[in-house]
């Protein structure tokens, strides 16, 4: 048996776990990360593409923003497209801020490089972690290391950064957990392609055939999505069917501008809204997708994870350096206050922009009226802008 000690045991080396480790290290607080998958698997994930400015500033504070500023694309706004009508949401005009188009994959790569440069202890390819005594005085994580030896990692705090299908949330007794969920009757089929983007900003489209999103990773690499049925698997779609659906849904003005090609990646993401309360149990603190999921329509999942981590890192720092338990006590309530507002925005935008199989004629009119109101109202457009750019932390 190998016995290790640390201040914070972090479960998961996705954006939440890596960024938390970086922020803690910058405050002189040690941590150990345990990750189920290999480093290459984590680096191979294609996910989010838009960073709120608060996320960019957090990366800057963490000292890992150099490539983001060098290679990221600052955007002043995006387009909503509803049955052939276009409405631009001028985020910079309404909020004085931009968003940054910079892939989550790149952000994860930057964080791993920095953590490794600082010789952070990360146990990769470790699928058997178990959380013990999380509500006691000696929380610990047991797992098997690469040499096949059992390890016990004693910690003062355990950070559950292990995503929606991790183990941390499961460590909270069912009777203590309140769960809220909305599963949407559709998914997103995404394609990554080495072709220039159709437009210099993002376009979110609601067409009677379904939702479509034209995004990007750079000026030479595009990311597109189309709404697909819940039961769909990637093999149900050929790339030609994908391009045809995308071009149709973007309409006669924009569709023909799409430069098609063979995909670098093609995947389906299910859409759900989910929140687990509380985000703390004893010495276990949840951050990111382990505690909540949003439909990607509002580009919030990754950004919400960053907001949790920024708050948790600050609370741990106050507790460790000033013995202030209050900061840890307030973490869950304060984090959830922002989580629910972001859940609302993501649900709102998803409801406005997708075709719902079960929608009645009345609900379809409500969707049209919502778009028509947004298009005609500075106040409604400003509300979308301030949510999209990111609510205050
Ligand atoms: P993550 O899920 O990213 O990371 C959790 C980590 O914990 C993983 O590395 C996992 O391997 C590890 N782990 C799990 N169980 C473990 C265990 N038992 N032991 C140890 N480690 C364990 N957000 C957007 O804003 N826009 C998007 O377009 C978008 N697209 C998405 C597409 C998909 C398919 C998914 C799943 C999510 C998408 N998201 C998107 C949301 C996504 O970006 C998340 O919000 C973000 O990855 C959250 O980061 P983490 O909280 O670190 O969770
Ligand atoms: C992406 O580029 O992957 C992306 C952008 C905006 C979203 C969702 C996904 O709302």
The reply to whether CATH 1.10.3720.10 applies to domain 2-72+101-180+272-350 is no
Distance CA 305, CA 14 (A): 10
User: pLDDT grade, residue 5 (50/70/90)?
Assistant: very high
Ligand 1 mean position, distance from CA 137 (Å): 29
Of the candidates 357, 351, 129, 122, the one whose C-alpha atom is nearest the C-alpha of residue 231 is 357
Domain boundaries, the chain: 2-72+101-180+272-350, 184-271+357-389
Ligand 2, residue 47: give the atom nearest the CA: 3
Q: What percent of the chain has pLDDT over 70?
A: 100
Residue 243's CB: how many other CB atoms inside 10 A?
A: 20
User: pLDDT grade, residue 329 (50/70/90)?
Assistant: very high
Instruction: Render pLDDT for 96-152 as a digit per residue (tens, 0 to 9).
Output: 999 999 999 999 999 999 999 999 999 999 999 999 999 999 999 999 999 999 999
Contacts of 265 (CB under 8 A, 6+ apart): 46, 190, 191, 192
Q: How confident is the model at residue 326, as a pLDDT? A: 84
Backbone angles phi, psi at 144, to 5 degrees: -105, 130
Of the candidates 311, 30, 305, the one whose C-alpha atom is nearest the C-alpha of residue 154 is 30
Q: State the DSSP string of 204-241.
A: EEEETTEEEEEEESSSS-EEEEEEEETT--GGG--HHH
Contacts of 142 (CB under 8 A, 6+ apart): 129, 130, 132, 150, 151, 152, 153
Ligand 2 mean position, distance from CA 188 (Å): 11
Distance CA 139, CA 133 (A): 5
Q: Decide whether any atom of ligand 1 lies within 6 Å of the 129 Cβ.
A: yes
The CA–CA distances, whole Å, from 50 to 10, 19, 134 equal: 25, 17, 34
Which whole number is the average pLDDT over 307-324? 94
* pLDDT at 323 exceeding the cut of 90: no
User: pLDDT grade, residue 324 (50/70/90)?
Assistant: confident
Of the candidates 25, 13, 12, 52, the one whose C-alpha atom is nearest the C-alpha of residue 393 is 52
Q: State the DSSP string of 126-161.
A: -TT-EEE-TTSSS-EEEEE-TTS-EEEEEEEEEEE-
The CA–CA distances, whole Å, from 137 to 85, 279, 352 equal: 59, 19, 48
* pLDDT at 353 exceeding the cut of 80: yes
Show the tokens assigned to 101. 């188009």
Choose one of 102, 128, 166, 211 to mutate for the ligand 1 pocket test, by most ligand atoms within 8 angstroms of C-beta. Answer: 166
Choose one of 268, 301, 311 to mutate for the ligand 1 pocket test, by most ligand atoms within 8 angstroms of C-beta. Answer: 301
Backbone angles phi, psi at 154, to 5 degrees: -80, 135
Beta pairing class for 178-193 and 31-34: unpaired
Ligand 2 mean position, distance from CA 2 (Å): 43
CATH class of the structural domain 184-271+357-389: alpha beta
* pLDDT at 351 exceeding the cut of 80: yes
Burial 100-114 (b: 16+ CB within 10 A, else e): bbbbbbbbbbbbbeb
Distance CA 284, CA 1 (A): 24
- H helices of the chain, where? 15-26, 39-43, 53-62, 66-71, 91-95, 104-117, 239-254, 301-322, 325-353, 361-376, 378-389
Instruction: Render pLDDT for 132-144 as a digit per residue (tens, 0 to 9).
Output: 999 999 999 999 9
Which whole number is the average pLDDT over 278-297? 98
* pLDDT at 370 exceeding the cut of 90: yes
Ligand 1 mean position, distance from CA 159 (Å): 15
Residues with catalytic roles: 75, 204, 296, 300, 388
Q: How confident is the model at residue 325, as a pLDDT? A: 84
Q: How confident is the model at residue 82, as a pLDDT? A: 95
Q: How confident is the model at residue 200, as a pLDDT? A: 97
Show the tokens assigned to 368. 């049209």
Which whole number is the average pLDDT over 380-387? 98
Choose one of 15, 46, 50 to mutate for the ligand 2 pocket test, by most ligand atoms within 8 angstroms of C-beta. Answer: 50
Residue 278's CB: how many other CB atoms inside 10 A?
A: 17
Instruction: Render pLDDT for 8-18 as a digit per residue (tens, 0 to 9).
Output: 999 999 999 99
Q: Decide whether any atom of ligand 1 lies within 6 Å of the 77 Cβ.
A: no
Which whole number is the average pLDDT over 61-70? 98
Q: How confident is the model at residue 277, as a pLDDT? A: 98
Nearest residue by C-alpha to atom 6 in ligand 2: 299
């Amino acid at each position: 048996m190998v016995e290790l000690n640390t201040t914070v045991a972090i479960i998961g080396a996705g954006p939440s776990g890596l960024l938390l480790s970086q922020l803690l290290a910058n405050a002189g607080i040690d941590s150990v990360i345990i990750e189920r998958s290999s480093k290459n698997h984590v680096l191979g994930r294609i996910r989010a593409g838009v960073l709120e400015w608060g996320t960019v500033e957090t990366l800057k504070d963490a000292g890992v923003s150099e490539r983001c500023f060098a290679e990221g694309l600052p955007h002043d706004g995006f387009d909503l497209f509803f049955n052939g009508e276009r409405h631009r949401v001028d985020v910079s005009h309404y909020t004085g801020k931009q968003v940054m188009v910079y892939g989550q994959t790149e952000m994860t790569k930057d964080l791993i490089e920095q953590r490794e440069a600082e010789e952070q202890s990360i146990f990769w390819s470790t699928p058997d972690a178990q959380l013990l005594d999380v509500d006691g005085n000696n929380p610990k994580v047991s797992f098997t290391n690469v040499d096949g030896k059992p390890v016990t990692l004693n910690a003062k705090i355990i950070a559950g950064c292990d995503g929606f299908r991790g183990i941390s949330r499961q460590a909270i007794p069912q009777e203590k957990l309140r769960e809220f969920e909305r599963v949407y009757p559709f998914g997103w089929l995404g394609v990554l392609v080495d072709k220039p983007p159709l437009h210099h900003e993002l376009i979110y489209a609601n067409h009677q055939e379904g939702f479509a999103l034209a995004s990007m990773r750079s000026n030479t690499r595009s990311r597109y999505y189309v709404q697909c049925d819940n039961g769909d698997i990637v093999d149900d779609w050929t790339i030609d069917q994908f391009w045809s659906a995308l071009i149709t849904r973007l309409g006669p003005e924009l569709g023909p501008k799409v430069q098609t090609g063979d995909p670098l990646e093609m995947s389906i993401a299910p859409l759900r809204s989910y929140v687990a309360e509380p985000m703390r149990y004893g010495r276990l603190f949840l951050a990111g997708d382990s505690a909540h999921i949003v439909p990607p329509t509002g580009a919030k999942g990754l950004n919400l994870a960053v907001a949790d981590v920024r708050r948790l890192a600050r609370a741990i720092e106050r507790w460790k350096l000033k013995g202030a338990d209050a900061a840890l006590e307030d973490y869950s309530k304060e984090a959830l206050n922002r989580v629910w507002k972001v859940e609302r925005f993501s649900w709102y935008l998803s409801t406005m922009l997708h075709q719902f199989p079960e929608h009645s004629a009345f609900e379809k009119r409500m969707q049209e009226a919502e778009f028509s109101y947004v298009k005609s109202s500075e106040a409604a457009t400003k509300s979308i802008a301030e949510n999209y750019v990111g609510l205050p932390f």
